[in-house]
Chain A
Amino acid sequence: MKHNPYRTEKIAFSLLFLATIVVLLPVILIIGIIVQKGWPAISWEFLTAMPEKGMREGGIFPAIVGTLFLVLGTLTFALPLGVMSAIFLVEYAKDNVLTRLVKLAIINLAGVPSVVYGLFGLGIFVMFLKFGASILAGSLTLAIMVLPIIITTTREALESVPQSFREVSLSLGVSKWQTIRYSVLPHALPGILTGIILAVSRAAGETAPILFTVAAFYLPKLPDSIFDQVMALPYHLYVISTQVPNVDPKVRYGTALVLLLIVLSMNFVAIVLRSKFRKKKKW
């Protein structure tokens, strides 16, 4: 049989298409299964009640609140640190050894396994600084973990602001910081916001970093201070799906659905925001 390049191409393209389907099908399947099986569990009571009977029944209120606290705590630390760090890299850093070191450090922070962050948080915040397993320790650990996400997206956003805007501002005698504050940051804001949302969604969904730094197995009350432990949605899902026998599957799927909804809706917002930002770019 004679070799026909066009038939080869047809076969190759079909395979490539198939591969793409294989990558994306699970997303649809996973979301589909969880929505279908978890939806019946969702009720006002499920969202706002304490867990009961060893978490086999009742609601997931403290886990939702715990995750909320952790996300807020994470943002408190990671947002200013990440944005300023990106401003340093884009606006101030010169091309020298220190800058290269910082960039390398960011790449490596992004690659550190989440469970290693957990160990680190345990070693430094829980033990060494004696915060104990607490919202504070957990938030700090998560903050360091999401730092590379905020830095990278903020950098991209800052770099997308034309150099000429900075030059115009400087040429009017405006100082460097004021130039950044009034001529760069406002135009990079949507991009920065995208990064923040992605970081939040990551912090909300992670389990390993909070295992030893904050997460409580079962704690049916709300925290009084940042030195309290809390329950958290991802850890709660882990617990009721592997550690507690005979949990009503509805409760498990319901918990998974709530977590998935929180994380995916934030990502969806981030995606929409970014594509709007790119389209609407006026320069």
Chain B
Amino acid sequence: MNLKSLKEQIIEKTIFLCGVTSVLFVVLIFIFLAKEGFALFKTVHPADFLTGRRWYPISDPPQFGILPLILGSLYVTFGATLISVPIGVASAVYISEIASSRVREVLKSGIELLAAIPSVVLGFIGITTLVPFMRNALNLPTGLTAFSGSLMLAFMAMPTIVSIAEDAITAVPKKYKEAALALGATHWQAIWRVVLRAASSGIVAAIMLGIGRVIGETMAVMMVTGNASRMPTSLFLPVRTLTATVAAEMGETVQGSAHYHALFAIGIVLFVITFIINLIADWAVHRKSK
């Protein structure tokens, strides 16, 4: 009997320890990024790092300005958001408000499948079909552009936006809509004026998480955006994002070199950006529940 309760105590302690590991991992991620990344700032001033316009890590002397990379990420993200938010929210409305329940299940499963396609497969399809198509359709010197990246990423953000926005819309109490309908509004007016407004916090969270997904996406964007590390000037030119820089260059750096540390410093930037985005999304969700 005592042995049994001892065993249970051990199990419960283990459960408690496992429970808090998530916090430990977040802390560890930050510590290890900082440990390798902050070493860069012994030689490069953080301000120069963030606002420098030249990323020439292997020239002599090397230059570690990530402004073009930040802008590259922003261009791609901006384009992807512009495409995915209206379409994503619209299809969330369709799925939750208009589709019959059987159709809804099928559509939701389809969206889950889209979310499941590995990004490297999307990138592969991107370079084999989208990129040549863009070059021909828009008569560009190359189809490897920020716009191609935006299109790719828009579809990768779609499942996140649709599923979270759909949850938010479904969570709006039925009586709101019924009240509007009872006052003679059409179904569409009820959706547009009442339901969407009531679900706005959840939709904001959906958009933020979609953006988070886009900024952090690596493989597909690396494969279709051309990776030119110059200051971007147009959506229709090659750009290089923060994530692609890390993924593409880490394999070729010498461990402990300034370049190596610089890539970790980019990791810190990415970590902080997504951390903030997640906080905002979380805040939006909790504002809703009050």
Contacts and interface: CB of A to CB of B under 8 A. Distances in A.
Touch A–B, Cβ below 8 Å: yes
Interface of A: 5-6, 8-9, 12-13, 15-17, 19-20, 22-24, 26-27, 30-31, 33-34, 80-81, 84-85, 87-89, 91-93, 98, 101-102, 104-120, 122-124, 127-128, 144, 147-148, 151, 175-178, 198, 201-202, 204-208, 211-212, 234-235, 237-238, 241-242, 249, 252, 256, 259-260, 263-264, 267-268, 271, 275
Contacts of A204: 118
A20 B98 CA distance: 11
B117 interface: yes
Nearest to A268: B113
Nearest to A208: B218
B90 A20 contact: yes
Given A24-B107, A212-B251, A238-B223, A16 B91 contact: yes
**Which among A85, A108, A211, A268 has the highest number of chain B CB atoms within 10 Å?**
A108
A128 B94 CA distance: 50
A119 B117 contact: no
Given A9-B188, A23-B114, A105 B263 contact: no
Interface in B103-153: 105, 107, 109-114, 116-125, 127-129
- List the 4 closest pairs (A to B, CB-CB), nearest first: A113-B216, A88-B19, A205-B118, A19-B90
Contacts of B116: 198, 201-202, 205, 263-264, 267
Interface stretch (B40-48, B60-68, B171-179, B267-275): B267-275
B223 A241 contact: yes
Contact of A16 (B20, B90, B117, B186): B90
A263 B5 CA distance: 42
Contacts of A256: 121, 124-125
Given A84-B14, A111-B277, A120 B28 contact: yes
Contacts of B247: 115, 118, 208, 211
Query: Which of A30, A85, A115 is the most central at the interface, judged by chain B CB atoms within 10 Å of its CB?
Result: A115
25 contacts: A13-B98, A16-B94, A19-B87, A20-B94, A22-B91, A23-B87, A24-B111, A30-B117, A34-B121, A88-B15, A88-B19, A105-B22, A109-B22, A111-B209, A111-B274, A113-B216, A115-B246, A115-B247, A119-B246, A120-B28, A122-B250, A147-B22, A208-B219, A259-B121, A264-B116
B-side interface mostly:
helix
B18 A80 contact: yes
B158 interface: yes
Contacts of A111: 209, 212, 216, 274-275, 277-278
Contact of B125 (A9, A33, A104, A267): A33
A201 to B, nearest CB: 6
Interface in B230-250: 243, 246-247, 250
Contacts of A116: 29, 33, 216, 267, 270-271, 274
Contacts of B25: 105, 109, 144, 147
Interface of B: 5, 8, 11-12, 14-16, 18-23, 25-26, 28-29, 32-33, 35-36, 86-88, 90-91, 93-95, 98-99, 105, 107, 109-114, 116-125, 127-129, 155, 158, 162, 186-189, 192, 209, 212, 215-219, 223, 243, 246-247, 250-251, 255, 263-264, 267, 270-271, 274-275, 277-279, 281-282
B216 A85 contact: no
Given A8-B188, A107-B278, A237 B121 contact: yes
A260 B121 CA distance: 7
A16 B90 CA distance: 5
B111 A115 contact: no
Contact of A30 (B98, B122, B219, B278): B122
A147 B28 CA distance: 15
B19 A92 contact: yes
Contact of A123 (B36, B110, B112, B189): B36
